[in-house]
């Protein structure tokens, strides 16, 4: 077992470990597992995997995610992996951090129906400098909660299943963003890149990371800086990769990683977080090498009996209750049965024009929906039901 942190060998972005200090504890209190930190609500940072599991019984987790709208240009790519299985003969799962503009909600419904996780990625995806950086708590709350309402109304996915958030452009919002997460009861954030805590940065990589747990009224420390006081829920840091030129990056779109650094060394979770546009760019440039390589990699993983490809929420469930490889398939989050019957039985495509209060001076937007009738106006921030005649911000 390497002396480096069990968590530091992540490739692109994954949950690591957790620190929580509750009540009247001081900022300098050290997290001690089973003394002031207790699973399933708290996991201290450590140089070994959680659960006191023998190393040869530690499962190798691979976490996949995609950002932005699910639509007709990418749904076939996402669905091509539905027959890839984990060792317990259940389908591999991914997390889709969804943005609203151009989203096709019957397609979102289908991804959720077959077991994938739907996360939140904002209604507007507005620009960083003039919108996200000065955003107050109210803005963050509306971006999260209005999107939950839009998804629930149009994709028929109950809000209780929408647990995670990734900030657009990975632009963290400090106290305001985390306060909004807490207020809305979201379970985790996955927006926090870190360079300092990696297995490659500097001559002596640090390795240890801290993330908050689900205990209320907690003090937390995570990534390169302290999280705001009162933060609750889990944080899933995005640990920078070392690309082929020696530069750091957090997303697969910008650099490649080495799965075997994890698999052959310490089986730390391995993340591949991406945008479909990266694969589309390859096609537009006349090559399918990116898609082919990604597919072959997942095929190879599916041949291994100690690798589970899972969504972020399922990894979190294992972190809360770490069990040996032989028992992973017995956890409720990892079990499967026949896919539920489709509940988006009458999918619609609604066309909205400038008169329907479209954002960004757009002339037309087509929105797929599972519900009738068509909203009077285009659902948007501060108007998620589409029932108010107010200009889009």
- Residue pLDDT, tens place only, 348-378: 999 999 999 999 889 999 999 999 999 999 9
Instruction: Tell me the pLDDT tens digit for each residue of 297-331.
Output: 899 999 999 999 999 999 989 988 999 999 999 99
User: CA 1, 62, 125, 142 torsion: positive or negative?
Assistant: negative
- Tell me which of 241-250, 263-272, 366-375 is least confident: 241-250
Tell me: pLDDT of 211 over 80.
no
Range picked from 184-198, 283-297, 365-379 for highest mean pLDDT: 365-379
Model pLDDT for residues 88-135, shown as the tens digit of each residue: 999 999 999 999 999 999 999 999 999 999 999 999 999 888 999 999
pTM assigned to the model: 0.86
**Residue 132 to residues 20, 80, 193, 227, Cα–Cα distance (Å):** 28, 34, 17, 18
Residue 326 has φ and ψ, to the nearest 5°, of -65, -15
pLDDT given for residue 353 in this prediction = 97
**215 with 20: CB under 8 angstroms?**
yes
Q: Kindly state the percentage of the chain with pLDDT values over 90.
A: 55
Distant-in-sequence, close-in-space partners of 45: CB < 8 Å, separation ≥ 6: 5, 7, 16, 17, 18, 19, 31, 208, 209, 210
Residue 153, pLDDT > 60, answer yes
* Largest distance between two CA atoms of the chain: 63
Cis omega (within 30 of 0) on the bond before 328? no
Q: 203 falls in which pLDDT band (50, 70, 90)?
A: low
- Torsion of the alpha carbons at 213, 23, 206 and 59, rounded to the nearest 10: -30
Collapsing DSSP to helix, strand or coil, 85 comes out as: strand
What residue ranges define each of the domains in the chain, with the CATH number in brackets?
Answer: 21-46+54-334 (3.20.20), 346-393 (no CATH)
- Mean of pLDDT values over 65-89: 96
**Closest among 11, 3, 60, 5 to 239, alpha carbons compared:** 11
Task: Count CB neighbours of 67 within 10 A.
Answer: 23
């Amino acid at each position: 077992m390497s002396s480096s942190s069990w968590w530091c060998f992540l490739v692109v972005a994954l949950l690591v470990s957790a620190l929580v200090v509750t009540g009247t504890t001081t900022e300098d209190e050290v997290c001690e597992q089973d003394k002031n930190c207790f699973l399933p609500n708290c996991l201290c940072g450590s140089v070994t995997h959680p659960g006191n599991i023998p190393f040869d019984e530690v499962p190798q987790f691979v976490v996949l995610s995609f950002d932005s709208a699910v639509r007709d240009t990418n749904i076939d790519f996402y669905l091509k992996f539905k027959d890839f299985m984990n060792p317990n003969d259940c389908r591999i799962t991914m997390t889709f951090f969804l943005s609203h503009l151009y989203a096709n909600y019957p397609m979102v419904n289908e991804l959720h129906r077959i077991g994938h996780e739907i996360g939140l990625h904002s209604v507007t995806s507005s620009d960083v400098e003039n919108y996200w950086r000065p955003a107050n708590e109210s803005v963050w709350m509306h971006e999260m909660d209005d999107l939950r309402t839009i998804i629930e109304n149009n994709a028929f996915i109950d809000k209780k299943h929408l647990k995670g958030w990734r900030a657009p452009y990975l632009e963290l919002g400090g106290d305001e963003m985390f306060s909004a997460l807490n207020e809305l009861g979201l379970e985790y954030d996955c927006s926090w890149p870190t360079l300092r805590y990696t297995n490659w940065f500097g001559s002596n990589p640090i390795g240890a990371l801290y993330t908050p747990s689900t205990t209320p009224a907690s003090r937390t420390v995570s990534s390169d800086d302290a999280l705001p006081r009162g933060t609750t829920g889990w944080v899933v840091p995005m640990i920078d990769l070392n690309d082929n030129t020696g530069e750091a990056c957090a997303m697969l779109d910008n650099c490649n990683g080495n799965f075997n650094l994890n698999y052959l060394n310490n089986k730390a979770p391995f993340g591949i977080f991406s945008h479909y546009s990266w694969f589309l760019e390859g096609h537009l440039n006349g090559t399918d090498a990116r898609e082919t390589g990604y597919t072959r990699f997942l095929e190879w993983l599916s041949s291994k009996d100690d690798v589970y490809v899972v969504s972020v929420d399922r990894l979190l469930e294992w972190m809360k209750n770490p069990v040996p490889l032989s028992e992973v398939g017995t956890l409720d989050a990892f079990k499967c049965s026949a896919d539920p019957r489709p509940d988006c039985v009458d999918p619609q495509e609604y066309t909205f024009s400038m008169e329907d209060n479209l954002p960004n001076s757009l002339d037309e937007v087509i929105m797929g929906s599972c519900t009738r009738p068509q909203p009077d106006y285009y659902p948007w921030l501060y108007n998620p039901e589409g029932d108010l005649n107010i200009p889009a911000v």
